[in-house]
Amino acid sequence: MTAPSNAPTLWQRLGRGSAVSVVLVGVLAWGVGRVVQTQVRDGQAETLRTVARPGDIRMLSSVSCIFCTKARQYLTEHRIPFEECLIERDPVCLADYKRLGASGTPTLLVRGQRQLGFDPLRVTAALGG
């Protein structure tokens, strides 16, 4: 068994001011990362808004689907034209859902091409953007 070391820990060696600096740098890096992430997301939304036309995107949704809610919020917030129907409330929507063999919601029809789930990059690619 080895004797306990009396050597100072890293935090003791750095001192209080240095420890605060390390924390501040970490917080700053996190904040910059969030800003960059937001700018990238907004750029993707702008591209999608540029290529999407009314009638291009139809979302088959469910009233209890949280992913449908997130997709709706994204499309609405970024003013991307889309149509939506709810499979529990619209018999035509439910028939389309079954006809497509959809396995979950949201199911998107992007110029007639079925996509399970909402991915802005995949929708943009399907629209030629």
Residue 111 located in a structural domain: yes
Please give the Cα distance from 45 to 75 (Å, whole number): 8
The answer to whether residue 4 is domain-embedded is no
The pLDDT value recorded for residue 36 is 41
Domain interval for residue 76: 44-126
List all residues 6 or more positions away from 127 whose beta carbon is below 8 Å from its beta carbon.
48, 51, 52, 56, 110, 111
Q: Decide: helix, strand or coil at residue 53.
A: coil
Q: What is the pLDDT of residue 129?
A: 78
Kindly state the tokens that stand for 98: 């079954």
Q: Which residues of the chain have pLDDT under 50?
A: 31, 33, 35-40
Q: Is residue 36 part of a domain?
A: no
Residue 66 lies in a domain: yes
- The 3-state secondary structure of 60-129 reads EECCCCHHHHHHHHHHHHCCCCCEEEECCCCHHHHHHHHHCCCCCCCEEEECCEEEECCCHHHHHHHCCC
- Does 56 reside within a domain? yes
- What's the pLDDT at 4? 62
Q: What is the pTM of this model?
A: 0.68
Number of structural domains (the chain) is 1
Has residue 10 been placed in a domain? Answer: no
Is residue 104 assigned to a domain?
yes
CATH number of the domain that residue 116 is part of: 3.40.30.10
Q: How do residues 43-75 score in pLDDT, each as one tens digit? A: 789 999 999 999 999 999 999 999 999 999 999
59 part of a folded domain:
yes
CA–CA–CA angle 32, 35, 36 (5° rounding): 90
Please report the pLDDT score of residue 21 as a whole number.
62
pLDDT reported for residue 100: 95
